[in-house]
Amino acid sequence: MPANPILVHLPDYEMLHKLKSYVFTDVDDDIYGWLKIKLEQVLKVRFPELPKGGTTANWDELLNAWFFETSPAMQNAVWQGDKVVFNPNSPFSKDIANSPSFSGARTGNSIKQKFFATTDLARSNPFDATFHFVGSETGIKDYYTIVEWFLGSYQAKVYWTKLTGDSYKIKAVIKNRSHWYSGTRLPKSWQNKLDETLGFSIENLVDSAPRGQTIKRKLPIFISNKLESEFRFMIPSFGGDLHQEFNIETVWTK
């Protein structure tokens, strides 16, 4: 009798515990490789390769912080509960400032291109614009950087000051929430494919939830209470909501 496909593809919590015991700086390839293999087996499609260059910050460190629900010290950043705020000198903020999605000239989808598509008289201050991580460009190798793969689609609030000539001083704030349903983790197209292939959605596997709650929320309350109170069993949690705020300063020239 064939195995229940739902049970076959449930998260491998033993593998996750094993990964959690590794040194954080070495774990990113293990996580991505494991997820890549699992998803390709289930969906029968190729999973994209992550871009290798174009950034200076250690985005794997931020991925690990999300996945393992940790709060490591980061350069030019401060933690506020489950939220980390990056100042303009942070390498993460600088990577975004120089990214194709924020300052890129080759796509009309970038925040900069949308900014200059509006005249000074018609443009609000702050100027709100959204980058959408969609389209055929997402399938082109190294077209985008790890910035876009981590953030997915995002909204920027841009405060601007006209300088001399065609230059503008830019101060922007980008807020992002990393969670299991974000485009970074499992794009909507993949969620639909998962539902079509197995007959159940990602919500059956894990919840987008605050830290410490992603798996617990899938269990009936009386079971989770019994496990924790009577059996002293700590229910694991991976990928709880991680909020980020990136403060960016740069100069744009038309």
- Over residues 71-88, the pLDDT tens digits come to 999 999 999 999 999 999
* Per-residue tokens: 98: 């120089």
pLDDT value at position 183? Answer: 46
Omega before 88 within 30 of 0, i.e. cis:
no
Helix intervals (H) in 153-220: 188-198
CA distance 40 to 47: 6
CA distance 59 to 89: 15
Averaged pLDDT, 16-32? 46
pLDDT value at position 133? Answer: 85
Averaged pLDDT, 196-208? 55
Q: Which residue has the tokens 């999973």?
A: 47
Averaged pLDDT, 144-151? 88
Averaged pLDDT, 25-45? 57
pLDDT value at position 154? Answer: 93
pLDDT value at position 185? Answer: 46
- Regarding predicted confidence, which is higher, 230 or 59? 59
Is the distance from CB of 179 to CB of 149 less than 8 angstroms?
Answer: no
- Regarding predicted confidence, which is higher, 54 or 1? 54
Averaged pLDDT, 139-157? 87
Is the distance from CB of 9 to CB of 42 less than 8 angstroms?
Answer: yes
pLDDT value at position 21? Answer: 47
pLDDT value at position 23? Answer: 39
pLDDT value at position 143? Answer: 84
Q: Which residue has the tokens 């909501």?
A: 241
Is the distance from CB of 71 to CB of 79 less than 8 angstroms?
Answer: yes
160-179 pLDDT, tens digit per residue, is 999 999 999 999 999 998 87
Averaged pLDDT, 30-59? 68
94-113 pLDDT, tens digit per residue, is 999 999 999 998 767 899 99
pLDDT value at position 92? Answer: 97
pLDDT value at position 8? Answer: 35
Q: Mean pLDDT of all residues in the chain?
A: 75
Quote the domain boundaries for residue 168.
5-253
Query: What is the per-residue burial (b if ≥16 Cβ within 10 Å, else e) of 187-199?
Result: beebbebbeeebe
- Regarding predicted confidence, which is higher, 158 or 54? 158
Nearest to 189 by CA among 43, 66, 63: 43
Nearest to 111 by CA among 175, 154, 167: 154
CA distance 160 to 162: 7
CA distance 254 to 168: 8
Is the distance from CB of 241 to CB of 208 less than 8 angstroms?
Answer: yes
- Regarding predicted confidence, which is higher, 147 or 236? 147
CA distance 169 to 163: 7
Question: How many structural domains is the chain composed of?
Answer: 1
Nearest to 98 by CA among 179, 49, 137, 90: 90
CA distance 148 to 109: 12
Averaged pLDDT, 190-205? 55
Total-model pTM: 0.70
